[in-house]
């Protein structure tokens, strides 16, 4: 077939998948459990068929059948098969060596197993798994009820038909605009003359936070929204907390302030109760000359990891986070065009943000930087197209 097609499992808001779309792939099935995240995918509408968007629990036969049916429907009149399947299943991180210390869990990482089993059914030319750094060493229960490392479970089901390559890497060294230590596993069917290593993203020089977001306007007032960009705004928080971070220089933590009233705390019955400093990267002002920090799901609060702007007394704006996650400017978070959103009154903008902000921030924290899947997609598209041309000749 002339068109390259892909299926996405655990697609969230489609931030990472947008890279495959930009690389030239056509989406024929996307599964996500949470409707508000699928609504973002619908706003971008990259699939030619609306029924490609499948909302529901992938552990149910109904949803699995819908995914498989979309693939079968696409290829029923051909002898071809799906080009690419991508899966980013939530992973309960516990090593095989330590799983017995917390008890044997027969459901451990069942979503990872579901991804593998669906891959077996669909039998695509290329499979891409993306997950946490120690993904391959994490415990997973296979269909026999026994617990193995995820790498072993993948091999048990797919090694006869696929060449497998997995690697731990930091996406910041491969084109991403922020630190993101992760694992990529790429599998290529053995009848396809492509090695998995050839599809890995290429390395690039890392960028500093200043290079990524330094040109955006400073935001100094609580609640301020950039007139030209609804996604670039100063998120509100308790006014008294501003004293904790205002004096900080880049790299400093509010826990290091000399004045107890300027350290993170609560006041209960008139008594100061200091917050516990569990992580050194909380209430910490970031550095312009360092690689942007990893974006986490709780990027909306000062108390989360690495969320404070190098100069302004605020957490990073959505626009800044989008740049840190390499999300293209044309990616939409709702059905409205940006021109329409930016022309709204301040009150209307605040209402829109109240509805959409947390979904956007959580989706960015859970996403694969768009550039990573774009690079893999470009490599896969080019290699498969070349193979198709050779077969025709």
Quote the pLDDT of residue 82: 97
Annotate the chain with three-state secondary structure. CCCEEEEEECCCCCCCCHHHHHCCEEEEEEEECCHHHHHHHHHHCCCCCHHHEEECCCCCHHHHHHHHHHHHHHHCCCCCCCCEEEECCCCCCCEHHHHHHHCCCCCCCHHHHHHHHHHHHHCCCEEEEEEECCHHHEEEECCCCCEEEHHHHHHHHHCCCEEEEEEEEEHHHHCCCECCEEEEEEEEECCCCCCHHHHCCCCCCCCCHHHHHCCCCCCCCCCCECCCCCCCECCCCCHHHHHHHCCCCCCCEHHHCCCHHHCCEEEECCEEEECCCCCCCECEECCCCCCECCCCCCCCCCCCECCECCCCCCECCHHHHHHHCCCCCCCCCCCCCHHHHHCCCHHHHHHHHHHHHHHHHHHHHHCCCHHHHHHHHHHHHHHHHHHHHHHHC
Tell me the average pLDDT across 20-38. Answer: 97
| Lowest mean pLDDT across 10-24, 180-194, 203-217, 263-277 | 263-277
Q: What is the pLDDT of residues 170-216, one digit of tens each?
A: 999 999 999 999 999 999 999 999 999 999 999 999 999 999 999 99
Please tell me whether residues 169 and 318 are part of one structural domain: no
Whole-structure pTM value:
0.94
Tell me the average pLDDT across 326-352. Answer: 97
Please tell me whether residues 185 and 220 are part of one structural domain: no
Q: What is the pLDDT of residues 74-115, one digit of tens each?
A: 999 888 999 999 999 987 766 565 655 555 555 778 999 999
Quote the pLDDT of residue 5: 97
Please tell me whether residues 357 and 383 are part of one structural domain: no
Quote the pLDDT of residue 77: 83
Quote the pLDDT of residue 182: 96
Quote the pLDDT of residue 90: 87
Q: Domain range holding 273? A: 209-366
The Cβ-side half-sphere exposure at 127, using a 13 Å CA radius, reads 29
Total structural domains in the chain?
Answer: 2
Quote the pLDDT of residue 98: 63
Please tell me whether residues 294 and 378 are part of one structural domain: no
| Lowest mean pLDDT across 82-96, 115-129, 255-269, 324-338 | 82-96
Token pair for residue 37? 């995240």
Please tell me whether residues 198 and 242 are part of one structural domain: no
What CATH number has the domain bearing residue 224?
Answer: 3.90.120
Please tell me whether residues 250 and 276 are part of one structural domain: yes
* CA gap 18, 369 in Å, rounded: 10
């Amino acid at each position: 077939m002339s068109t390259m097609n892909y299926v996405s499992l655990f697609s969230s808001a489609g931030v990472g998948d947008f890279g495959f779309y930009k690389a030239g792939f056509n989406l024929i099935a996307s599964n996500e459990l949470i409707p508000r995240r699928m609504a973002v995918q619908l706003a971008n509408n990259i699939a030619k068929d609306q029924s490609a968007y499948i909302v529901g629990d992938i552990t149910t036969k109904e949803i699995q059948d819908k995914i498989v049916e979309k693939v079968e429907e696409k290829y029923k009149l051909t002898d071809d098969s799906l080009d690419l399947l991508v899966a980013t299943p939530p992973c309960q991180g516990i090593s095989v060596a330590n799983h017995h210390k917390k008890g044997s869990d027969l459901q451990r990482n069942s979503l990872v197993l579901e991804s593998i089993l669906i891959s077996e059914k669909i039998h695509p030319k290329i499979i891409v798994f993306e997950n946490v750094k120690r993904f391959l060493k994490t415990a997973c229960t296979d269909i026999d009820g026994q617990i193995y490392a995820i790498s072993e479970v993948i091999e048990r089901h797919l090694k006869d038909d696929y060449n497998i390559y997995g690697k731990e890497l930091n996406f910041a060294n491969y084109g991403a605009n922020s630190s993101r230590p992760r694992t990529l596993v790429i599998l290529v069917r053995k009848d396809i003359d492509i090695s998995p290593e050839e599809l890995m993203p290429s390395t690039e020089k890392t960028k500093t936070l200043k290079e990524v977001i330094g040109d955006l306007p400073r935001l100094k007032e609580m609640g301020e929204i950039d007139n030209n960009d609804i996604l670039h705004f100063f998120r509100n928080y308790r006014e008294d907390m501003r004293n904790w971070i205002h004096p900080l220089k880049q790299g400093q933590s509010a826990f290091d302030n000399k004045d107890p009233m300027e350290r993170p705390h609560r006041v209960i019955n008139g008594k100061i109760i200091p917050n516990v400093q569990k992580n050194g990267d909380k209430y910490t002002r970031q550095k312009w000359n360092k690689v942007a920090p990893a974006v986490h799901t709780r990027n909306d609060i000062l108390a989360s990891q690495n969320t404070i702007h190098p100069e302004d007394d605020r957490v990073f704006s959505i626009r800044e986070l989008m740049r840190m996650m390499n999300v293209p400017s044309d990616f939409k978070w709702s059905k409205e065009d940006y021109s329409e959103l930016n022309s709204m009154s301040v009150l209307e903008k605040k209402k829109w943000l109240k509805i959409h902000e947390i979904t956007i921030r959580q989706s960015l924290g859970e996403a694969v930087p768009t550039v990573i899947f774009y690079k893999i997609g470009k490599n896969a598209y080019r290699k498969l197209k070349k193979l198709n041309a050779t077969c025709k000749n």
